[in-house]
Amino acid sequence: MSERPKILCVGEPSENATGFLERLGDSFEIVKSDTPLDALDRLTRDKFAGVYVWGDAVRDSRQVARLVQNERILDGMPDGVALLDADNHILWANSRLRRWLRQGEVEGHNFYQAFDGPEIIGPDLCPFHSALATGEASRSTLRCGDRYFEVHAAPIREDDGFPKYLIVNVLDVTAVVLQRQKLEAIHQAGLELAALTPDEVYEMKVDDRIELLKTNILHYTKDLLNFDVVEIRLLDQKSGELMPLLTEGIEEEAAHRQLFARPHDNGVTGFVAYTGNSYLCENTTDDPLYLIGCQGAKSSLTVPLVQNDQVIGTFNVESPQPGAFTESDLQFLEIFSRDIALALNTLELLVAQQANTAQASVEAIHGEVALPVDSILNDAVNVMERYIGHEPEVVERLQRILRNARDIKTLIQQVGSKMAPSEAVPDSRDQSAWPRLRDRRVLVVDADESVLLAAHSLLERFGCVVETARGGSETVNMVRGCETGCGYDVIIADIRLPDVSGYELLLRLQQNMGSVPLILMTGFGYDPTHSIVKARQAGLKSVLYKPFRLEQLLTEVESAVQDQPESNS
């Protein structure tokens, strides 16, 4: 092999240059190249002391100079770069592309063969052919085993206007493609979290659906996100407490630790629930917010569960490795948490729907039973009036009938409460806005049956025990028929009953009750006998003017009972 320095001569030398080359050959090895592109290929593979350009190649000398000047820049690029001919053969490739192909010499190889026959995903299934045929750049993605490359092919035009060469830029997009595939998988997993067919919904109880949701969450968290330590807590909107829903790999004591949505003294979970912001704890040993969840955990990632811009809970994962979680992990977990929040909301709506259905069924049954039972009560106390003081045994039997009739209504309400399914998330709604009404006994007196039915429906929703009567005499008998300690806390009566006025009813009740918690109902301004005025003078508690709102009714009933001892019924 010659040890003389090499001179690269590009193009066909003129006759005048022949003698020059002969003299040059005494000291240098002359290497000839017909085209600038061939010269560029030789320059990348060998060292030359100089380059001479002759003849027609002179017009391309500036291009060659630029390519030679930029060759080192191209060779150091993080992306692959190649020069292809019209048959897709590699004329030149930078070092990055050579490393990806794991080949030292790639010149002369077909581009696709050098990549071991990759799958062309698109969008252009023939990117090189398209670029040469149209003269426009083309793009496509190649899959090579478990790696993905995006190729951009740009044609180089010749003087005749037709491109014969391609500059191909190759980008490794494996991370981007895998991330996109993972996002799509997470989205699909979110759709399947609580998905059931109508038949499955019909067959499964709410508790079963909750368990299915928890199982699916854990499955996808482990298999898709690769997180083994998981804790999900749901926020009670009223108390601010974070209630455990799902724990995996969390210490028993930590799983049952009481936490609240507060910025301090409640760990990362409380902070995230309070602020609504995700929190990446890269090192648990020096993070002041972190509370031990998993034994030996060195890092954690916690994101909020958000539904309709409201935090409904938290999703926490932990790892024994410090700095185990990346920004991508944070993005994946935030996306998955939105699907979890949506699934929980869907489940909660189902629970509410089933609870409403159960409640409607109970109310329908109660509506059919309430007034007939009240009629039994009315008849029983009327009969009992005749035997009081004469036939103790008959009175005792009638009192048993009264107790049993009242137990029927109580039993219906108890069955109804059991029919309503348990909820998927802690109940944040205030179920005791009228706590003083609970278990208060209310007697409603009106000749209109629709008013009596409405009284049952409205007041019993708030825990009242409602009985009804249609006239003054029945009212007095119902009051007299109450056992000791089971009297009425409030009596609501129409101002004009078939047998007495409101004022007259008040006077008769005072003979039996002493202080009478009576509320009179009347059409606005209707009081031809001045019954309301006289009743007020006699100690009437309050007046409701029809039509009145439910809140007005509840307020008046609560006001009437607030100074009385709670019922022992």
Specify the range with the lowest mean pLDDT, choosing from 60-69, 148-157, 385-394: 60-69
According to the model, what pLDDT value does residue 55 have? 59
Bond prior to 547 in cis (omega within 30° of 0): yes
> Which residue(s) pair with 230 in the sheet?
248, 317
Specify the range with the lowest mean pLDDT, choosing from 109-113, 406-410, 518-522: 406-410
Same domain as 186, residue 295: yes
According to the model, what pLDDT value does residue 74 have? 55
Same domain as 85, residue 67: no
Residue 371 lies in a domain: no
Report the amino acid identity of residue 93. A
According to the model, what pLDDT value does residue 194 have? 61
Same domain as 229, residue 95: no
Q: Give pLDDT tens digits for 402-436.
A: 777 777 777 766 655 555 555 555 444 444 578 88
Residue 413 lies in a domain: no
Average pLDDT of span 360-381: 71
Looking at 308, 327, 352, the residue that finishes a domain is 352
Same domain as 280, residue 243: yes
Task: Indicate if the pLDDT at residue 567 is higher than 50.
Answer: no
Burial environment of residue 271 by CB neighbours within 10 A (0 to 12, 13 to 18, 19 or more): buried
Same domain as 443, residue 304: no
Q: What CATH number is associated with residue 204? A: 3.30.450.40
Domain count, the chain: 4
Same domain as 48, residue 84: no
Same domain as 512, residue 468: yes
Average pLDDT of span 234-257: 89
Indicate the helix (H) or strand (E) that contains 31.
strand 29-33
Looking at 30, 45, 72, the residue that finishes a domain is 72
Dihedral angle sign, alpha carbons of residues 324, 328, 330, 334: negative
Q: How confident is the model at residue 241 (pLDDT cuts 50, 70, 90)?
A: very high
Task: Indicate if the pLDDT at residue 239 is higher than 80.
Answer: yes
Whether this prediction's pTM lies above 0.75 is answered by: no
Task: Indicate if the pLDDT at residue 503 is higher than 70.
Answer: yes
Residue 321 lies in a domain: yes
Residue 460 lies in a domain: yes
Question: Taking Cα atoms as reference points, which of 139, 80, 86, 85 lies closest to residue 115?
Answer: 80
Average pLDDT of span 136-150: 89
Same domain as 15, residue 107: no
Residue 19 lies in a domain: yes
329 or 106: whose pLDDT is higher? Answer: 329
**Residue 476: strand, helix, or coil:** helix
Task: Indicate if the pLDDT at residue 190 is higher than 60.
Answer: yes
Angstrom distance (rounded) from CA 388 to CA 372? 24
Same domain as 565, residue 456: yes
Count, in order, helices (H) and strands (E) of the chain. Answer: 18, 20
Check if the beta carbon of residue 64 is closer than 8 Å to that of residue 52: no
Task: Indicate if the pLDDT at residue 500 is higher than 80.
Answer: yes
Task: Indicate if the pLDDT at residue 365 is higher than 80.
Answer: no
60 or 170: whose pLDDT is higher? Answer: 170
Average pLDDT of span 302-313: 88
Q: What CATH number is associated with residue 538? A: 3.40.50.2300
According to the model, what pLDDT value does residue 32 have? 82
3-state secondary structure 419-458: HCCCCCCCCCCCCCCCHHHCCCEEEEECCCHHHHHHHHHH
According to the model, what pLDDT value does residue 476 have? 92
Task: Indicate if the pLDDT at residue 280 is higher than 60.
Answer: yes
Task: Name the residue range of residue 55's domain.
Answer: 1-72
28 or 35: whose pLDDT is higher? Answer: 28
Same domain as 332, residue 255: yes
Task: Indicate if the pLDDT at residue 199 is higher than 90.
Answer: no
Residue 366 lies in a domain: no
Check if the beta carbon of residue 355 is closer than 8 Å to that of residue 421: yes
According to the model, what pLDDT value does residue 427 have? 47
Average pLDDT of span 430-454: 82
Same domain as 286, residue 216: yes
According to the model, what pLDDT value does residue 158 have? 65
Same domain as 332, residue 205: yes
Share of the chain above pLDDT 90, in %: 15
Average pLDDT of span 236-265: 91
Average pLDDT of span 69-85: 66
Q: What CATH number is associated with residue 51? A: 3.40.50
Average pLDDT of span 179-201: 68
Structure tokens, 240: 């601010």
Looking at 46, 72, 98, the residue that finishes a domain is 72
Average pLDDT of span 354-364: 57
According to the model, what pLDDT value does residue 11 have? 73
51 or 109: whose pLDDT is higher? Answer: 109
Average pLDDT of span 83-95: 83
Residue 476 lies in a domain: yes
Residue 442 lies in a domain: yes
Q: What CATH number is associated with residue 131? A: 3.30.450.20
